[in-house]
Chains A and B, each alone.
Chain A
Amino acid sequence: QSVLTQPPSVSGAPGQRVAISCTGSSSNIGAGYDVHWYHQLPGTAPKLLIYSNNNRPSGVADRFSGSKSGTAASLAITGLQSDDEADYYCQSYDRSMSAWVFGGGTKLTVL
């Protein structure tokens, strides 16, 4: 059971928009800690997608955006492409555990 809760899977057709939620608590996201997002293509290492809630590293398309409110965060992907099929993970810090924590991951399927 992960400290941050994500839906196991989401899907969408090419060109559509999808959103992946990440729900935490008052000891992590709700305590003011930033949320970061990674994607992991099959058989590869995770890659940073969004940092500090809504910032994109250089080279990440503006189709990806993040937001945070209260004890939850969300990753939105617009203009879905087949290349977007991957596992997506949110990450934050939990003060009661004194540890960085990840969501359980969400598998995105492009129909």
Chain B
Amino acid sequence: EVQLLESGGGLVQPGEFLRLACAASGFTFNNYAISWVRQAPGKGLEWVSVISGSGANTYYADSVKGRVSMSRDHSTNTVYLYINSLRAEDTAVYYCAKNRDHSGNSQNWFDSWGQGTLVTVSS
């Protein structure tokens, strides 16, 4: 059974840095791209970023480009999202989601999701 478990959320001040983690199990980790999708309180879903199965390629939404990066650790089957210069509008539940294949190319969907971790940016 595919499992994705996010951690690292919490209350942070504007301008601070945060690292979110997504621990994966139940599938061959190297074979699948992993995305982060966020949901602001009471709002819809917004794709944030993706990392390919090998970790060689990453892509980011314009709304976070320049402030966000991703990495993956194949020894622990964990994906990380790093967010700099946090803003109030980054407040959201952050979900990691397994892509349908390794590439993260355009014809992709999210076939499994974690339970999410809440990030609140406030002074």
Contacts and interface: CB of A to CB of B under 8 A. Distances in A.
Contacts of B95: 45-46
9 contacts: A89-B45, A91-B109, A91-B110, A98-B59, A100-B47, A101-B47, A102-B44, A102-B45, A104-B44
Interface residues of A, number: 26
B19 to A, nearest CB: 21
A48 B45 contact: no
Interface of B: 35, 37, 44-47, 59, 61-62, 95, 97, 100, 106-116
Contact of A103 (B44, B47, B106, B114): B44
Given A46-B95, A99-B61, A52 B109 contact: yes
Interface of A: 2, 33-34, 36, 38, 44-48, 51-52, 57, 89, 91, 93, 95, 97-105
